[in-house]
Amino acid sequence: MTSDKGQKISMPYKLLFVCLGNICRSPSAENIMNHLIDQAGLSSSICCDSAGTSSYHIGSQPDRRMSAAAAKLGIQLRGRARQFAKSDFQEFDLILAMDKDNYEDILTLDPTGKYHDKVRLMCDFCTRHSLKEVPDPYYGGVEGFNQVIDLLVDACEGLLQEINNQQLKA
């Protein structure tokens, strides 16, 4: 797409973070990523959202325990839970599942496989952690929420680096 002056206009690269209920892991990833995007001065190039594969918490704010863990890094968790929709496949450039169950649930909504290449596991982008999935801290203690924040910071940093290397320089 070009402007009337012949300048290239790039659409924002759209990321969707997905967990089960959209009150712990995915809103944390969304808000951590937004924080990193702001710090990098890329707010006009990359935008984020989050969703859950279930309808358990639609309309709810992020879990207070997750918000407390994020606040230790100066990150405020914003947003309200929503459920993943089939239209998200067209709307987003990359869909990031927090664990293998979420990944499979997302792929099930795309039986033809048309959008499978858009769906990745969040931990694929970690550079310091070796976990393959972001654990659900919902039924655990404070340490689990802190671990998730640490893991998501690592994954979001790696994701931002990959987007910079692949998408924005294309």
Of 19, 24, 123, 126, which residue is the catalytic one?
A: 19
- Hey, how many other C-beta atoms are within 10 angstroms of the C-beta on 72? 10
Q: How many helices (H) and strands (E) does the chain have?
A: 5, 4
Q: Is 25 a catalytic residue?
A: yes
What is the rounded CA–CA span in Å between residue 161 and residue 170?
A: 14
Residue 144 CA from chain centroid, whole number: 18
Q: Distance between CA atoms of 92 and 89, rounded to whole angstroms?
A: 6
Residue 136 annotated among the catalytic residues of the structure? yes
List 49, 88, 136, 154, catalytic entry:
136
State yes or no: is 126 an active-site residue: no
Which residues are known to be catalytic? Answer: 19, 25, 136
